[in-house]
Every structure is written in C-alpha cells, then in structure tokens.
C-alpha cells in the first residue's frame, strides 16, 4: 500500500547581498508564509515538512531544491517559494534568482537559473507542484517553465481522475519586464513585499476562497492579481502578477479558515430510512412513510420538521410553488399512492359523466363516449398547470361543453398489457 500523500514546502528568503542592494522584507515574507502554511486551520502542512532558508549560498540552495523535489510520491504536493532579487539575462531572456554570493557577470555559476528549477521539477514524481516567485522580472520564467511532463500531469494510463487537482502552477509577482516592490513603498505600514502581503492575506482571512471551504491555487492567484494591480494602478510602481501552468482539476493549497460548516438539515432528525421511504418509487412504501409522519407530528420537537417535509412532498413529490408553464411528460413526476401519474395538475381530465352541482349519482354513469355535441355538460377533474395549487387535486371538478378545446384540457389513454 503506497504511503499517504504529504505536503512539502521550501521557503527561501534572501535579504543580504554582496554585489546587489540589501532588501528589508524577505525574512518577514518567509516567516509569514511559513506561519499560514503550518497553521492547521489554513495550510495544514506538517511543520517538520516546511523548510526555511535564510540567505543560503549557491551550494546550499541547489542542494535544498534538489532534495525538495526528489523521492516524492505521485500524490504529494510540493511548494517552492522564493523572495529576493531576480536578475534577467537580456540576451537569453532567462531568469536568475540571486543569492547572497551571486555575481552579475557569472550568474550561471552563482545564482539559481530558471532552467535548473524547472528541470528539477520535471524530474520529480510529485504530481502536484507549485512554484511561487516574488522577485523582479519573475514572469520571465514564463510558459516554458510551466510545461509539465506526462508523468507529472497524469496523462499516462494510471492517471488520476480529471478532478483530482494534478499538475504544475507557477505564480509570479510581476511580468518579465516589471520590478517587484516592497509593500511599504506602495502601502504604508506593510512589512512584507506587496505580492506576498496579499498572498498571505488571501490565505489568512479566507478572502481568496470567495466563500468556498478551500482555497485553490487559481483562486489565490485571482485574489492576489486583483489586489496587486489595484494597489499599483496609480503608478509609477505598477506590478502585474502572472500565472502559468497546466492543471487537471482544482489544485487545492489551503483551507478557508472562515468557512462555516453547513447548518444541519432539520429533516435529518427523521432519519435517512424514513426520508428514503418518502422518496421511494414504490407507492406502498411512500404510504407507510406518510403514516409514520402522522405519528411523529404529535411529538413537539419534530412537529415543524414534519410539516416542512409534508410541504416538500405535497403534490406527489413535486416541490410546492413551482409554476411549470406547460404540460409535462406523464412519468416525469412521482406517481400517486395508487401508482398513477399526473392525475392532478397537468391538464383537466375529461370524463364521460354528466355534471351536477351536487352529487346525485349521475357521475357514476357514462352517458356518452363519442358524441361531442351531446348535452349535458361533461365533468372535468384535477385542475391544470395554469391553476392555483389549491385546485390541483383529483376531487376538484368543473364542467365544460363536450366540444370545448383548450391547451389545459386532456384525457388519459390506457392500454391493457
């Protein structure tokens, strides 16, 4: 039996540099993100599986990233986050993540190349991969970094179901031509980078979930993108977060800490067996269930629940108050207790009996089966789709002359089998 799926994260923050200007916020970025990821009510990552690196050198960073993605299981979720300087090679368009000892004239040997990261991800068996880059020119990693191998994406014969949430997503704080800004340069008092500030806020408050019980990476991206673009719209420090990737289904990152458990349905107090009997296709089973409701209605705690159930099942299972504006196929709604469909409420049913204001026995006799011009008026029963609910019962009767024709009138055809 394969081991249970795990969630692993490596968070790298660089704020000290030898050749580049020092930064103020990466340490706070990493600490804040680690906090929400390991919060049982939000990220649910096991603390032992969330590693943080502050100002690692070239060798340490390479080894840590390699180990993060190596020896994972198909169902594992692996997240790599970086906050620091990003350097762009304008000749090749390649992105480099700068480390404390990075040298601008030797980036291949001193910085994390985007191709190194994506190659490690390509080789990993982990089926859920998330890369988050908060640095200048982050969008340069682009679509070439989001291409996923068949094994990771789940296109082989052993692929997961379509809604399983497999694939790779890359979130970037800015486009390939934009800088990424520390938050306090845009919003007073923000102690993190602007992008990571909204990333953490969306997870911590649950606002990114838009009312859903969980936060997908797509929902988080949309939330952060809208917030960052709005915050920088006035310029000159504009930022446009981007998202690249290939995902099958929803890739869930965290829980919504503000999600409320759905209120229990009072009808559940009646028990699943009774509710199932009320919805049974067997009319005798439904009759027995209604009899049980008749007993329960005298119990004070259940009285209102029983009334609500009876309202739902009033009209042979149709919800009350539904105006369908037309006739329906005969077997489209549940049958009555005698196994007959649409005895009431579809169309008025013609009979061949004479109408009398008071029952005097005439309605027990069929006076004519085929003469449309014979007096007296004939009885019609049951109401039609354009009537008020109180009319929709088989005991309801009215009269019409035999030659009358309306879209609300009809009769039943029967065949002996």
All CATH 3.40.50.1460 domain ranges of the chain, comma separated, are 7-255
Rounded CA separation 6/268 (Å): 35
Element (H, E) at 291: helix 283-296
Tokens 């800004």 correspond to what residue?
181
Region label for 59, one of left (φ > 0), alpha (ψ between -120 and 50) or beta (otherwise): alpha
Lowest mean pLDDT among 14-23, 35-44, 362-371: 362-371
Determine phi and psi for 94, rounding to 5 degrees. -80, 145
Look at residue 318 in the predicted model and tell me its pLDDT: 43
Q: Where is pLDDT greater, at 310 or 318?
A: 310
Instruction: Provide the 8-state DSSP code for 84.
Output: S
Looking at the structure, give the CATH architecture of the domain made up of residues 7-255.
Answer: 3-Layer(aba) Sandwich (3.40)
Question: Quick one: average pLDDT of 141-167?
Answer: 56
CA angle 212–218–224, rounded 5-degree value: 95
199: number of Cβ within 10 Å: 29
**In this prediction, what percent of the chain has a pLDDT beyond 90?**
46
Cβ-based neighbours of 323, under 8 Å, separated by 6 or more: 385
pLDDT tens-place string over residues 235-289: 777 899 999 988 888 899 999 998 876 667 777 788 888 888 877 777 677 767 7
Starting at the edge strand that comes first in sequence, how are the strands of the sheet with 348-354 ordered? 397-400, 378-381, 348-354, 409-410
Q: Which two tokens stand for residue 143?
A: 């679509």
pLDDT tens-place string over residues 12-38: 999 999 999 999 999 999 999 999 999
Rounded to two decimals, the pTM is 0.63
Residue 162: band (very low, low, confident or very high) from pLDDT cuts 50, 70, 90:
very low
Interatomic CA distance for residues 189 and 140, integer angstroms: 29
Whole-number mean pLDDT of the chain? 82
């Amino acid at each position: 039996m394969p081991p249970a799926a795990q969630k692993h994260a490596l968070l790298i923050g660089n704020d000290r540099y030898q050749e580049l200007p020092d930064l103020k916020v990466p340490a706070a970025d990493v600490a804040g993100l680690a906090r929400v990821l390991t919060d049982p009510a939000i990220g649910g990552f096991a603390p032992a599986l969330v590693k943080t690196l502050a100002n690692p050198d070239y060798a340490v960073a390479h080894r840590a990233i390699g180990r993060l993605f190596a020896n994972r299981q198909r169902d594992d979720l692996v997240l790599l986050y970086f906050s620091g300087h990003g350097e762009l090679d304008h000749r090749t368009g390649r992105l480099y993540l700068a480390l404390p000892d990075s040298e601008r004239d030797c980036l291949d040997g001193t910085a994390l190349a985007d191709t190194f990261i994506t190659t490690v991800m390509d080789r990993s068996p982990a089926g859920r991969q998330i890369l988050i880059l908060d640095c200048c020119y982050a969008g340069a990693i682009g679509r070439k970094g989001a291409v996923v191998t068949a094994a990771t994406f789940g296109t082989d014969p052993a692929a997961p179901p379509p809604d399983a949430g497999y694939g790779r997503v890359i979130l970037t704080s800015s486009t390939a031509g934009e800088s990424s800004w520390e938050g306090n340069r845009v919003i007073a008092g923000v102690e993190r980078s602007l992008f990571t500030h909204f990333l953490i806020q969306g997870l911590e408050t649950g606002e990114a979930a838009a009312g859903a019980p969980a936060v997908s990476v797509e929902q988080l991206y949309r939330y952060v993108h809208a917030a960052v673009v709005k915050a920088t719209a006035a310029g000159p420090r504009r930022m446009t977060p981007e998202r690249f990737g290939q995902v099958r289904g929803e890739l869930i990152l965290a829980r919504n800490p503000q999600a409320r458990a759905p209120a229990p349905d009072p009808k559940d107090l009646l028990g699943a067996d009774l509710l199932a009997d009320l919805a049974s296709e067997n009319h005798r089973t439904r009759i027995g269930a209604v009899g049980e409701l008749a007993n329960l209605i005298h119990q004070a705690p259940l009285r209102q629940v029983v009334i609500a159930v009876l309202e739902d099942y009033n009209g042979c299972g149709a919800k009350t108050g539904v105006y369908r504006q037309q006739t329906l196929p005969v077997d489209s709604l549940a049958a009555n207790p005698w196994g007959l469909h649409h005895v009431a409420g579809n169309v008025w049913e013609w009979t061949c009996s004479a109408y009398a204001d008071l029952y005097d026995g005439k309605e027990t006799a069929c006076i004519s089966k085929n003469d449309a011009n014979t007096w007296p008026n004939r009885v019609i029963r049951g109401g039609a789709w354009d009537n008020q609910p109180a009319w929709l019962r088989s005991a309801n009767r009215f009269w019409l002359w035999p030659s009358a024709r309306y879209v609300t009138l009809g009769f039943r055809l029967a065949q002996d089998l």
